Amino acid sequence: MKIAPSIIAADFTKINKELKAIEKSGADLVHLDIMDGVFVPNITFGPMLVEAINRMTELELDAHLMIVNPDKYFERFIESGADWISFHIETVKNPKKSINFLKKRKCRAGIAINPETPLKNVLSFVEYLDFLLIMTVHPGFYGQKFIPEVLKKIERARDFIDKNRLNCLIQVD
């Protein structure tokens, strides 16, 4: 298991202190919620802040792209220091092409699915993924109530990965 606290609830006027607290906690990654105000109703930040965060921590950066046309921005996020990138299945035309692009750039590739997205929509891609991000809330805002029905989806994903002996982590957000 890996722990990846999100900085979305951080005090950005004290971001360096917040990152040091994450490092001290024993976390493995820093989770970055990237929102564009189109795919989700909120806006957070982009590659410039990811680059600044990358300079402030030794931890790997996990960029969860909640944006339309993420393929257009993969390179910029990789260059800014993202080590892991997930995109929502609904936002790309060719998920396999997106996964291959990320892997060729030595970036861990993940697909994110919303609580209402059927697991079957991503099963044909799981063998190519480094991780599958399963949302337990609707993306776009932090502090939402956990949707317990998603637990069954997580169990089914774990069963599928184990049954097929795949090397894919499950990330839960």
Give the model confidence (pLDDT) of 19-42 as tens digits. Answer: 999 999 999 999 999 999 999 999
What order of strands is seen across the sheet that includes strand 169-172? 29-35, 60-66, 82-88, 108-113, 131-134, 169-172
Confidence tier at 129 by pLDDT (50, 70, 90): very high
In a domain, 5, yes or no: no
pTM tops 0.85, yes or no:
yes
According to the model, what pLDDT value does residue 96 have? 98
According to the model, what pLDDT value does residue 143 have? 75
Buried b / exposed e along 64-75 (16+ C-beta atoms within 10 A)? bbbbbebbebbe
- Mean pLDDT (the chain) is 96
What angle in degrees, to the nearest 10, is found between the helix axes of 15-24 and 47-56?
A: 50
In a domain, 3, yes or no: no
The residue-averaged pLDDT of 132-151 equals: 89
Catalytic residues: 33, 173
Smallest CA-to-CA distance from 97 within 71, 76, 119 is with: 71
Name the domain count of the chain.
1
According to the model, what pLDDT value does residue 140 have? 80
Beta pairing partners, 32? 63
Q: Is 131 helix (H, G, I), strand (E, B) or coil?
A: strand
In a domain, 145, yes or no: yes
Q: Is 133 helix (H, G, I), strand (E, B) or coil?
A: strand
According to the model, what pLDDT value does residue 42 have? 94
Q: pLDDT at residue 159 above 90?
A: yes
Our separate counts of H helices and E strands in the chain read 5, 6
Smallest CA-to-CA distance from 35 within 59, 7, 57 is with: 7
Which residues form the domain of 141?
A: 12-172
In a domain, 164, yes or no: yes
Q: pLDDT at residue 1 above 90?
A: no
Per-residue pLDDT of 58-70, as tens digits, reads 999 999 999 999 9
